[in-house]
Structure 1
Amino acid sequence: MAAGVLVVAVSMNAGIVSAYAQSSDAAAAASAAPSAKSTKAANRQLARDVRKSLTKVKGLSTSNISVRARGGAVTLAGTVPDAAQIDQATEAAKATAGVTSVRNALTIREIGQ
Protein backbone atom coordinates (compact mmCIF):
# COMPACT_ATOMS: atom_id res chain seq x y z
CA MET A 1 0.00 0.00 0.00
CA ALA A 2 1.08 3.56 -0.54
CA ALA A 3 2.33 5.34 2.51
CA GLY A 4 -0.05 8.05 3.63
CA VAL A 5 0.93 11.38 5.06
CA LEU A 6 -0.31 11.94 8.56
CA VAL A 7 -1.35 15.47 9.31
CA VAL A 8 -1.81 16.39 12.95
CA ALA A 9 -3.26 19.66 14.10
CA VAL A 10 -2.76 20.51 17.74
CA SER A 11 -4.68 23.23 19.49
CA MET A 12 -3.92 24.41 23.00
CA ASN A 13 -6.51 26.46 24.76
CA ALA A 14 -6.41 26.92 28.55
CA GLY A 15 -4.44 23.73 29.04
CA ILE A 16 -6.71 21.55 26.85
CA VAL A 17 -4.98 19.71 24.06
CA SER A 18 -6.99 18.56 21.02
CA ALA A 19 -5.49 16.62 18.16
CA TYR A 20 -7.04 15.85 14.79
CA ALA A 21 -5.49 13.51 12.29
CA GLN A 22 -6.39 12.74 8.71
CA SER A 23 -4.76 10.21 6.49
CA SER A 24 -4.17 11.14 2.87
CA ASP A 25 -5.67 7.75 1.95
CA ALA A 26 -9.08 8.96 3.15
CA ALA A 27 -8.76 12.11 1.07
CA ALA A 28 -7.79 10.07 -1.98
CA ALA A 29 -10.79 7.78 -1.51
CA ALA A 30 -13.14 10.76 -1.37
CA SER A 31 -11.76 12.18 -4.62
CA ALA A 32 -11.96 8.78 -6.34
CA ALA A 33 -15.78 8.91 -6.50
CA PRO A 34 -16.89 8.86 -10.15
CA SER A 35 -18.02 12.16 -11.64
CA ALA A 36 -21.43 12.58 -13.23
CA LYS A 37 -19.75 12.81 -16.62
CA SER A 38 -17.88 9.52 -16.22
CA THR A 39 -21.00 7.81 -14.85
CA LYS A 40 -23.03 8.90 -17.88
CA ALA A 41 -20.27 7.74 -20.20
CA ALA A 42 -20.17 4.34 -18.50
CA ASN A 43 -23.96 4.02 -18.79
CA ARG A 44 -23.87 4.91 -22.50
CA GLN A 45 -21.08 2.38 -23.09
CA LEU A 46 -23.01 -0.37 -21.29
CA ALA A 47 -26.13 0.40 -23.37
CA ARG A 48 -24.00 0.15 -26.55
CA ASP A 49 -22.53 -3.16 -25.37
CA VAL A 50 -26.00 -4.58 -24.71
CA ARG A 51 -27.26 -3.40 -28.12
CA LYS A 52 -24.24 -5.08 -29.74
CA SER A 53 -25.07 -8.31 -27.87
CA LEU A 54 -28.67 -8.10 -29.08
CA THR A 55 -27.63 -7.67 -32.72
CA LYS A 56 -25.55 -10.86 -32.52
CA VAL A 57 -28.63 -13.00 -31.67
CA LYS A 58 -29.78 -14.74 -34.83
CA GLY A 59 -33.42 -14.10 -35.63
CA LEU A 60 -33.85 -11.27 -33.12
CA SER A 61 -35.40 -8.15 -34.60
CA THR A 62 -33.62 -5.25 -32.86
CA SER A 63 -34.90 -2.35 -34.96
CA ASN A 64 -37.64 -1.46 -32.46
CA ILE A 65 -35.72 -2.18 -29.24
CA SER A 66 -34.27 0.62 -27.14
CA VAL A 67 -31.70 -0.03 -24.42
CA ARG A 68 -31.17 2.13 -21.33
CA ALA A 69 -28.52 1.47 -18.70
CA ARG A 70 -28.00 2.95 -15.27
CA GLY A 71 -25.34 1.64 -12.95
CA GLY A 72 -25.46 -1.88 -14.38
CA ALA A 73 -29.27 -2.06 -14.44
CA VAL A 74 -30.54 -2.36 -18.01
CA THR A 75 -34.03 -1.67 -19.33
CA LEU A 76 -35.18 -3.07 -22.66
CA ALA A 77 -38.17 -1.28 -24.19
CA GLY A 78 -39.98 -1.39 -27.52
CA THR A 79 -41.58 -4.08 -29.61
CA VAL A 80 -40.67 -7.45 -31.10
CA PRO A 81 -42.66 -9.69 -33.47
CA ASP A 82 -43.12 -12.66 -31.09
CA ALA A 83 -42.80 -13.77 -27.46
CA ALA A 84 -39.72 -15.92 -28.09
CA GLN A 85 -37.76 -12.80 -29.02
CA ILE A 86 -38.57 -11.22 -25.66
CA ASP A 87 -36.82 -14.10 -23.92
CA GLN A 88 -33.92 -14.03 -26.39
CA ALA A 89 -33.37 -10.32 -25.78
CA THR A 90 -33.48 -10.76 -22.00
CA GLU A 91 -30.93 -13.58 -22.05
CA ALA A 92 -28.59 -11.70 -24.39
CA ALA A 93 -28.73 -8.61 -22.16
CA LYS A 94 -28.08 -10.66 -19.00
CA ALA A 95 -25.04 -12.27 -20.64
CA THR A 96 -23.43 -8.89 -21.39
CA ALA A 97 -20.47 -7.99 -19.17
CA GLY A 98 -21.31 -5.27 -16.67
CA VAL A 99 -25.05 -5.96 -16.52
CA THR A 100 -26.31 -6.54 -12.99
CA SER A 101 -30.05 -6.72 -13.72
CA VAL A 102 -32.44 -6.59 -16.67
CA ARG A 103 -35.92 -5.06 -16.70
CA ASN A 104 -37.78 -6.18 -19.78
CA ALA A 105 -40.51 -3.81 -20.99
CA LEU A 106 -40.71 -5.31 -24.48
CA THR A 107 -44.13 -5.96 -26.00
CA ILE A 108 -45.27 -8.07 -28.93
CA ARG A 109 -46.24 -6.31 -32.13
CA GLU A 110 -46.51 -8.42 -35.21
CA ILE A 111 -44.70 -7.23 -38.32
CA GLY A 112 -46.90 -4.99 -40.44
CA GLN A 113 -49.04 -3.70 -37.59
Structure 2
Amino acid sequence: MKAIKMIGGALIVLASLNAYAQNDAASAAAAAPAASAPTAKQTAKQTRAANRALSRKVRGVLARTKGLTVGNITVRAREGAITLAGSVPEAAQIDLATNAAQGVPGVTSVKNALTIRAIGQ
Protein backbone atom coordinates (compact mmCIF):
# COMPACT_ATOMS: atom_id res chain seq x y z
CA MET A 1 0.00 0.00 0.00
CA LYS A 2 2.86 2.32 0.81
CA ALA A 3 4.40 1.70 -2.62
CA ILE A 4 1.14 2.61 -4.37
CA LYS A 5 0.99 5.92 -2.47
CA MET A 6 4.61 6.66 -3.42
CA ILE A 7 3.95 5.90 -7.09
CA GLY A 8 0.78 8.03 -7.02
CA GLY A 9 2.70 10.91 -5.42
CA ALA A 10 5.48 10.61 -8.00
CA LEU A 11 2.93 10.72 -10.83
CA ILE A 12 1.35 13.87 -9.37
CA VAL A 13 4.78 15.53 -9.13
CA LEU A 14 5.64 14.55 -12.72
CA ALA A 15 2.30 15.84 -14.01
CA SER A 16 2.81 19.12 -12.14
CA LEU A 17 6.31 19.56 -13.54
CA ASN A 18 5.07 18.81 -17.05
CA ALA A 19 2.27 21.37 -16.72
CA TYR A 20 4.75 23.94 -15.33
CA ALA A 21 7.16 23.31 -18.21
CA GLN A 22 4.36 23.74 -20.76
CA ASN A 23 3.34 26.99 -19.11
CA ASP A 24 6.93 28.30 -19.35
CA ALA A 25 7.12 27.29 -23.02
CA ALA A 26 3.88 29.11 -23.75
CA SER A 27 5.07 32.26 -22.02
CA ALA A 28 8.41 32.04 -23.84
CA ALA A 29 6.56 31.70 -27.16
CA ALA A 30 4.42 34.71 -26.27
CA ALA A 31 7.52 36.71 -25.38
CA ALA A 32 9.27 35.82 -28.66
CA PRO A 33 7.22 38.20 -30.85
CA ALA A 34 7.76 40.96 -28.31
CA ALA A 35 11.49 40.29 -28.44
CA SER A 36 11.50 40.40 -32.24
CA ALA A 37 9.70 43.76 -32.34
CA PRO A 38 12.76 45.70 -31.11
CA THR A 39 14.78 43.84 -33.73
CA ALA A 40 12.49 45.18 -36.46
CA LYS A 41 12.77 48.63 -34.93
CA GLN A 42 16.53 48.26 -34.77
CA THR A 43 16.57 47.29 -38.43
CA ALA A 44 14.63 50.45 -39.31
CA LYS A 45 17.13 52.50 -37.32
CA GLN A 46 20.01 50.83 -39.12
CA THR A 47 18.38 51.49 -42.48
CA ARG A 48 17.90 55.18 -41.67
CA ALA A 49 21.50 55.43 -40.48
CA ALA A 50 22.74 53.77 -43.69
CA ASN A 51 20.64 56.17 -45.77
CA ARG A 52 22.08 59.18 -43.93
CA ALA A 53 25.63 57.87 -44.32
CA LEU A 54 25.18 57.30 -48.06
CA SER A 55 23.65 60.74 -48.45
CA ARG A 56 26.66 62.29 -46.70
CA LYS A 57 29.05 60.33 -48.93
CA VAL A 58 27.32 61.52 -52.08
CA ARG A 59 27.21 65.10 -50.79
CA GLY A 60 30.94 64.94 -50.06
CA VAL A 61 31.73 63.65 -53.55
CA LEU A 62 29.59 66.39 -55.09
CA ALA A 63 31.37 69.03 -52.99
CA ARG A 64 34.76 67.79 -54.23
CA THR A 65 33.68 67.69 -57.88
CA LYS A 66 35.39 70.46 -59.82
CA GLY A 67 33.06 72.77 -61.73
CA LEU A 68 29.98 71.89 -59.66
CA THR A 69 28.18 74.41 -57.45
CA VAL A 70 26.57 72.39 -54.64
CA GLY A 71 25.13 75.22 -52.54
CA ASN A 72 21.54 74.55 -53.69
CA ILE A 73 21.71 70.77 -54.15
CA THR A 74 19.85 68.48 -51.77
CA VAL A 75 20.78 64.79 -51.63
CA ARG A 76 18.31 62.15 -50.45
CA ALA A 77 19.13 58.46 -50.16
CA ARG A 78 16.77 55.53 -49.79
CA GLU A 79 18.27 52.05 -49.83
CA GLY A 80 20.87 52.97 -52.44
CA ALA A 81 18.58 55.10 -54.61
CA ILE A 82 19.78 58.70 -54.69
CA THR A 83 17.61 61.72 -55.49
CA LEU A 84 19.31 65.00 -56.36
CA ALA A 85 17.05 68.03 -55.97
CA GLY A 86 17.58 71.77 -56.06
CA SER A 87 19.18 74.02 -58.62
CA VAL A 88 22.48 74.61 -60.40
CA PRO A 89 23.55 77.65 -62.44
CA GLU A 90 24.38 75.77 -65.68
CA ALA A 91 22.92 72.81 -67.58
CA ALA A 92 26.31 71.10 -67.78
CA GLN A 93 26.38 70.83 -63.99
CA ILE A 94 23.27 68.63 -63.99
CA ASP A 95 25.09 65.87 -65.89
CA LEU A 96 28.21 66.46 -63.82
CA ALA A 97 26.26 65.94 -60.59
CA THR A 98 24.55 62.80 -61.91
CA ASN A 99 27.82 61.22 -63.03
CA ALA A 100 29.55 62.07 -59.74
CA ALA A 101 26.70 60.56 -57.69
CA GLN A 102 26.67 57.37 -59.78
CA GLY A 103 30.35 56.83 -59.01
CA VAL A 104 29.82 56.59 -55.24
CA PRO A 105 30.02 53.03 -53.86
CA GLY A 106 26.61 51.87 -52.61
CA VAL A 107 24.58 53.95 -55.06
CA THR A 108 22.21 51.79 -57.10
CA SER A 109 20.38 54.51 -59.02
CA VAL A 110 20.30 58.29 -59.35
CA LYS A 111 17.15 60.32 -59.95
CA ASN A 112 18.02 63.83 -61.02
CA ALA A 113 15.47 66.53 -60.16
CA LEU A 114 17.90 69.42 -60.54
CA THR A 115 16.81 72.60 -62.29
CA ILE A 116 18.77 75.43 -63.86
CA ARG A 117 18.70 78.70 -61.97
CA ALA A 118 21.18 81.51 -62.40
CA ILE A 119 23.22 82.54 -59.37
CA GLY A 120 21.47 85.27 -57.40
CA GLN A 121 17.92 84.36 -58.45
Same fold (TM over 0.5): yes
Q: Which residues of structure 1 form unaligned runs of 5+?
A: 1-30
Return the TM-score normalized by structure 2. 0.65
Unaligned segments of structure 2, at least 5 residues = 1-38
The structure with the largest helix share of the pair is: 2
Q: Give, as a single letter, the amino acid of the residue that structure 2 aligns with 1:60.
A: L
Superposition TM-score, scaled by structure 1 size: 0.70
Aligned residues between the structures: 83
One of 51, 54, 76 as aligned partner of 1:43: 51
**Could you report, residue by residue, the CA deviation over 1:21-43 in whole angstroms, capped at 9, with x for unpaired residues?**
xxxxxxxxxx79x7000000000
- Work out which of the residue numbers 97, 103, 108 in structure 2 matches 1:95: 103
Aligned Cα RMSD in Å? 1.7
Aligned residue for 2:104, secondary structure, equals coil
1:109 CA drift (Å): 0.1
1:59 shift after superposition: 1.4
Partner amino acid for 2:59?
R
Alignment match of 1:77 (pick from 67, 80, 85): 85
Tell which structure's C-alpha radius of gyration is larger.
2
Spell out structure 1 runs of 4+ moving beyond 2 A: none
Structure 2: distance between partners of 1:63 and 1:111: 10
Alignment of 1:25-64 (within 5 A): 35-64=43-72
Q: Could you say which residue in structure 2 is the equivalent of 1:112?
A: 120
Q: Higher strand proportion, which one? A: 1
